[in-house]
Amino acid sequence: MTGRGRLTVAGAVLMVSTVTAHAQVAVENDYPTVARADYVFGCMATNGQSREALEKCACSVDVIASILPYDKYIEAETVMSMSLVGGDRMSIFRTAPHLKAMVADLRRAQAEAEIRCF
């Protein structure tokens, strides 16, 4: 392979690596700023209103975002909220296997965030 051919291959590899890196960042950053801020505010309300809590809570939402796409996060949060509502009509949110799996995925992401950040 000539020098120019190697350069072209190296350029293509670099371009693919860059696109892949940008796609990964996009996936990890698909949570809207408002959603991240809401998470951090709630986390700080639970863990204290200190700079240390801010850093840990920001880390936590970043870890969750790296594991669970935003749409899956919203679905699981909704199911969790609905499962807290009493009554027979809401029992589906506590018993349906696919809904329980959604919540389990979120809980695993939260547990990973807890391990990494707190």
Per-residue pLDDT tens over the stretch 76-102? 999 999 988 888 888 888 888 999 999
Q: Tell me the torsion sign for CA atoms 59, 62, 67, 69.
A: positive
| pLDDT at residue 20, as a whole number | 37
Residue extents of the structural domains in the chain: 1-30, 31-117
Which of 75, 66, 64, 63 lies closest to 102 in space, CA to CA? 75
Of the pLDDT bands very low, low, confident and very high (cuts 50, 70, 90), residue 2 is low
| pLDDT at residue 28, as a whole number | 55
Residue 115: alpha-carbon gap to chain centroid:
15
Of the pLDDT bands very low, low, confident and very high (cuts 50, 70, 90), residue 3 is low
Euclidean distance between CA atoms 25 and 23, whole angstroms: 5
pTM: 0.73
Place of tokens 């695993």: 108
CA distances from 21 to 28, 61, 65, 113 (A): 11, 20, 16, 22
Residue 25: is its pLDDT beyond 50?
no
